[in-house]
Protein backbone atom coordinates (compact mmCIF):
# COMPACT_ATOMS: atom_id res chain seq x y z
CA UNK A 1 0.00 0.00 0.00
CA UNK A 2 2.90 2.28 -0.06
CA UNK A 3 2.68 3.79 -3.50
CA UNK A 4 4.91 6.89 -3.67
CA UNK A 5 2.57 8.60 -6.15
CA UNK A 6 -0.50 8.49 -3.90
CA UNK A 7 -0.94 11.06 -1.20
CA UNK A 8 -1.81 10.18 2.35
CA UNK A 9 -5.35 11.58 2.00
CA UNK A 10 -6.16 9.51 -1.06
CA UNK A 11 -4.85 6.42 0.68
CA UNK A 12 -7.06 7.07 3.66
CA UNK A 13 -10.13 7.61 1.47
CA UNK A 14 -9.54 4.46 -0.52
CA UNK A 15 -9.20 2.49 2.69
CA UNK A 16 -12.46 3.88 4.03
CA UNK A 17 -14.29 3.07 0.78
CA UNK A 18 -13.05 -0.51 0.88
CA UNK A 19 -14.33 -0.85 4.42
CA UNK A 20 -17.75 0.59 3.50
CA UNK A 21 -18.21 -1.66 0.47
CA UNK A 22 -17.21 -4.76 2.42
CA UNK A 23 -19.65 -3.96 5.23
CA UNK A 24 -22.52 -3.32 2.75
CA UNK A 25 -22.10 -6.65 1.04
CA UNK A 26 -21.65 -8.40 4.33
CA UNK A 27 -24.85 -7.00 5.81
CA UNK A 28 -26.95 -7.74 2.63
CA UNK A 29 -28.10 -4.17 2.26
CA UNK A 30 -29.43 -2.92 -1.07
CA UNK A 31 -26.83 -1.30 -3.20
CA UNK A 32 -27.51 2.24 -4.37
CA UNK A 33 -25.72 1.87 -7.64
CA UNK A 34 -25.92 4.49 -10.30
CA UNK A 35 -28.02 2.29 -12.62
CA UNK A 36 -30.71 1.72 -10.01
CA UNK A 37 -30.86 5.37 -9.11
CA UNK A 38 -31.22 6.38 -12.73
CA UNK A 39 -34.08 3.95 -13.38
CA UNK A 40 -36.07 5.34 -10.49
CA UNK A 41 -35.49 8.95 -11.41
CA UNK A 42 -36.84 8.77 -14.99
CA UNK A 43 -40.54 8.82 -15.88
CA UNK A 44 -43.64 10.19 -14.25
CA UNK A 45 -44.63 7.14 -12.24
CA UNK A 46 -44.03 8.88 -8.94
CA UNK A 47 -45.93 12.07 -9.82
CA UNK A 48 -49.57 12.06 -8.77
CA UNK A 49 -52.23 12.44 -11.48
CA UNK A 50 -49.99 11.33 -14.30
CA UNK A 51 -50.51 7.71 -15.26
CA UNK A 52 -50.18 5.71 -18.42
CA UNK A 53 -51.78 7.37 -21.44
CA UNK A 54 -53.55 4.22 -22.58
CA UNK A 55 -55.49 3.96 -19.33
CA UNK A 56 -56.72 7.53 -19.30
CA UNK A 57 -57.04 8.54 -22.94
CA UNK A 58 -60.31 8.58 -24.84
CA UNK A 59 -58.44 7.77 -28.06
CA UNK A 60 -58.57 4.09 -27.20
CA UNK A 61 -62.31 3.93 -26.65
CA UNK A 62 -64.20 1.55 -28.99
CA UNK A 63 -66.05 4.36 -30.75
CA UNK A 64 -62.77 5.87 -31.93
CA UNK A 65 -61.33 2.71 -33.45
CA UNK A 66 -61.38 3.17 -37.18
CA UNK A 67 -61.01 0.45 -39.78
CA UNK A 68 -57.70 0.22 -41.57
CA UNK A 69 -57.47 2.43 -44.65
CA UNK A 70 -57.65 0.63 -47.97
CA UNK A 71 -56.21 2.51 -50.90
CA UNK A 72 -57.82 1.80 -54.26
CA UNK A 73 -56.64 2.77 -57.71
CA UNK A 74 -57.98 6.14 -58.76
CA UNK A 75 -57.07 5.72 -62.39
CA UNK A 76 -58.60 3.66 -65.16
CA UNK A 77 -57.02 0.22 -65.59
CA UNK A 78 -59.03 -1.21 -68.48
CA UNK A 79 -60.33 0.45 -71.68
CA UNK A 80 -64.04 1.14 -71.93
CA UNK A 81 -64.12 -0.12 -75.54
CA UNK A 82 -61.65 -2.92 -76.25
CA UNK A 83 -59.78 -3.07 -79.54
CA UNK A 84 -61.55 -5.22 -82.14
CA UNK A 85 -59.07 -6.41 -84.81
CA UNK A 86 -61.49 -7.67 -87.50
CA UNK A 87 -63.38 -4.37 -87.79
CA UNK A 88 -60.12 -2.39 -88.02
CA UNK A 89 -58.74 -4.79 -90.65
CA UNK A 90 -61.91 -4.34 -92.75
CA UNK A 91 -61.53 -0.55 -92.54
CA UNK A 92 -57.84 -0.77 -93.56
CA UNK A 93 -58.64 -2.98 -96.56
CA UNK A 94 -61.47 -0.65 -97.63
CA UNK A 95 -59.13 2.37 -97.47
CA UNK A 96 -56.42 0.52 -99.43
CA UNK A 97 -58.94 -0.44 -102.13
CA UNK A 98 -60.07 3.17 -102.47
CA UNK A 99 -56.68 4.92 -102.41
CA UNK A 100 -54.30 2.29 -103.80
CA UNK A 101 -56.49 0.32 -106.22
CA UNK A 102 -54.96 1.54 -109.50
CA UNK A 103 -51.78 3.18 -108.22
CA UNK A 104 -48.75 3.44 -110.52
CA UNK A 105 -45.46 3.95 -108.74
CA UNK A 106 -43.99 7.45 -108.97
CA UNK A 107 -41.24 8.70 -106.72
CA UNK A 108 -43.08 12.03 -106.38
CA UNK A 109 -46.66 10.79 -105.89
CA UNK A 110 -46.12 7.61 -103.85
CA UNK A 111 -44.98 9.39 -100.62
CA UNK A 112 -48.08 11.62 -100.78
CA UNK A 113 -50.27 8.55 -101.28
CA UNK A 114 -48.64 6.87 -98.26
CA UNK A 115 -49.38 9.93 -96.10
CA UNK A 116 -52.97 10.04 -97.33
CA UNK A 117 -53.50 6.32 -96.59
CA UNK A 118 -51.99 6.73 -93.12
CA UNK A 119 -54.15 9.77 -92.30
CA UNK A 120 -57.36 8.15 -93.52
CA UNK A 121 -56.60 5.00 -91.57
CA UNK A 122 -55.98 7.00 -88.38
CA UNK A 123 -59.27 8.88 -88.82
CA UNK A 124 -61.20 5.65 -89.38
CA UNK A 125 -59.75 3.95 -86.30
CA UNK A 126 -60.31 7.00 -84.08
CA UNK A 127 -63.92 7.15 -85.27
CA UNK A 128 -64.42 3.59 -83.96
CA UNK A 129 -64.05 4.96 -80.41
CA UNK A 130 -61.25 2.88 -78.94
CA UNK A 131 -60.43 5.11 -75.97
CA UNK A 132 -57.09 5.05 -74.14
CA UNK A 133 -55.19 3.55 -77.08
CA UNK A 134 -52.24 5.07 -78.89
CA UNK A 135 -52.59 4.40 -82.61
CA UNK A 136 -49.42 4.05 -84.69
CA UNK A 137 -49.77 3.69 -88.44
CA UNK A 138 -46.87 2.56 -90.64
CA UNK A 139 -47.48 2.67 -94.41
CA UNK A 140 -44.74 1.53 -96.80
CA UNK A 141 -45.02 1.94 -100.57
CA UNK A 142 -42.22 0.50 -102.70
CA UNK A 143 -41.57 -0.01 -106.40
CA UNK A 144 -41.67 -3.58 -107.69
CA UNK A 145 -38.36 -4.44 -109.35
CA UNK A 146 -38.03 -8.17 -108.65
CA UNK A 147 -36.52 -7.55 -105.24
CA UNK A 148 -37.23 -9.18 -101.92
CA UNK A 149 -38.74 -7.18 -99.07
CA UNK A 150 -38.56 -7.97 -95.36
CA UNK A 151 -40.10 -5.83 -92.65
CA UNK A 152 -39.43 -6.64 -89.00
CA UNK A 153 -40.59 -4.62 -86.03
CA UNK A 154 -40.24 -5.67 -82.40
CA UNK A 155 -41.80 -4.15 -79.30
CA UNK A 156 -42.14 -4.81 -75.62
CA UNK A 157 -45.85 -4.68 -74.96
CA UNK A 158 -48.77 -6.02 -72.98
CA UNK A 159 -50.10 -9.05 -74.85
CA UNK A 160 -53.56 -8.70 -73.23
CA UNK A 161 -54.28 -5.10 -74.27
CA UNK A 162 -51.96 -4.22 -77.16
CA UNK A 163 -52.51 -5.45 -80.70
CA UNK A 164 -51.69 -4.85 -84.35
CA UNK A 165 -53.06 -5.50 -87.81
CA UNK A 166 -51.09 -6.01 -91.00
CA UNK A 167 -52.37 -5.93 -94.56
CA UNK A 168 -50.85 -5.40 -98.02
CA UNK A 169 -51.80 -4.81 -101.66
CA UNK A 170 -49.94 -5.14 -104.96
CA UNK A 171 -50.23 -3.47 -108.33
CA UNK A 172 -48.10 -4.22 -111.42
CA UNK A 173 -45.63 -1.42 -110.55
CA UNK A 174 -45.80 -1.07 -106.74
CA UNK A 175 -46.83 -2.68 -103.50
CA UNK A 176 -48.01 -1.26 -100.20
CA UNK A 177 -47.80 -2.68 -96.71
CA UNK A 178 -49.91 -1.20 -93.92
CA UNK A 179 -49.20 -2.03 -90.28
CA UNK A 180 -51.35 -0.48 -87.58
CA UNK A 181 -50.26 -0.79 -83.94
CA UNK A 182 -52.70 -0.15 -81.14
CA UNK A 183 -50.91 0.31 -77.79
CA UNK A 184 -52.86 0.76 -74.57
CA UNK A 185 -52.03 3.89 -72.56
CA UNK A 186 -51.03 3.07 -68.96
User: Residues 163-181: pLDDT tens digits?
Assistant: 999 999 999 999 999 999 9
Nearest to 140 by CA among 164, 102, 110: 110
Using a 10 angstrom Cβ sphere, with 0-12 exposed, 13-18 middle and 19 or more buried, the burial of residue 92 is buried
Distance CA 177, CA 114 (A): 10
Half-sphere exposure of 107 (CA within 13 A, CB side): 0
Residues in the chain: 186
Each residue of 6-50: pLDDT tens digit? 566 555 556 655 555 555 554 555 555 555 555 554 555 555 555
- Mean pLDDT of the residues in the chain: 78
Domains and CATH numbers, the chain: 85-184 (3.30.1140.40)
Nearest to 107 by CA among 138, 150, 141, 139: 141
Phi/psi at 142 (nearest 5 deg)? -135, 155
Amino acid sequence: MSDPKKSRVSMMLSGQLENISSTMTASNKKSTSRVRMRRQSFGFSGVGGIGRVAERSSMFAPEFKRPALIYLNTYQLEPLVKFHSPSVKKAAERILDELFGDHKYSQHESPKTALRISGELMKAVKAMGFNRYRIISVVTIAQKRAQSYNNAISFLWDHERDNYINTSRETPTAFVQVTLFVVYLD
